[in-house]
Structure 1
Amino acid sequence: MRHACAAMVLGLALAGLCAPAQAQPQPTAKPAGPSFKVMDTDKSGHLTLDEVLAHAKKTSRDVKPFRISDADLDGDGTLTLDEQRQAGITGLEHFGPVNLKELDVKGDGYISKDDLDEYFRRKHREAYSRADADKDSRLHPSEFALFRF
């Protein structure tokens, strides 16, 4: 008798949990980045580094140049999200805290458009190399899943 009651209670609880899920539409998740098909401009079924870099350039964020000393308020060499907000810097927030030594490609204490372009090209090359598991200089759809900046 106890087992029958426990089974009935469990059955009702599970039915109650399932009912709202069926009644409410499931939210659709947005893709984290560009799709393979969008980046594969020559429709070859694989991505070259040139295609990745061309897409990155076309969709690059507009980050205004800034002096490191004006933005790195605590002088630790890392630009935190809070420091980005306080300095009015937009376009880098998706990358989290940023190592300013890496970002200052010229090493002049100022982050210019050229510094940013080279930094992002370098980061895309590194991500591409990590994702290219078979090292054939092409990303197949299965390898594209590994492509993370």
Structure 2
Amino acid sequence: MSLNDTKSSQNDEITNPMPAEDRREFLLNNELYSDVTFRVGPHRQPIYGHKIILMCSSKYFFNLFKNANVNTITLKTVERNDFLEILRYVYCEKINLTAENVRAIYRQSKIMSFEMVVKAVVAFLIQNINPDNVLEKMVENCFYQACELLTFILAGT
């Protein structure tokens, strides 16, 4: 099953006990027991989440959910796959960062206060610095404003 699909078809296949990693992966974008639905992208495709996981991972979501009964959130400017990657890191501490999605994931993670995802993005950027692209990365850091990245660059890759 791809990350883009919900896992409602797997709900009949639960085996006990599941390892912790499998439990977290099982919850990702799973409509079963979800209590918030994100309508993402221009087509408002649903992505399912769990408020408690989001509140424990983000000040933005903590403040959003603590005093309001919000069950549906529309995210018009976020690509579905980028948001799923953010949630995958929040739920499972796994992420697939590429040159194509890194900026969007970084930007959205900053907006939503997912600091752990921001740190994963900075680590990805640091891992991809080499003598051939160091100036390009330094210019890009104007977008990221990541002290760790600038420190790494200035220390002489």
TM class by shorter-chain length?
A: under 0.3
Larger RCO (CA under 8 A, 6+ residues apart): 1
Larger radius of gyration: 1
TM norm structure 2: 0.26
TM norm structure 1: 0.27
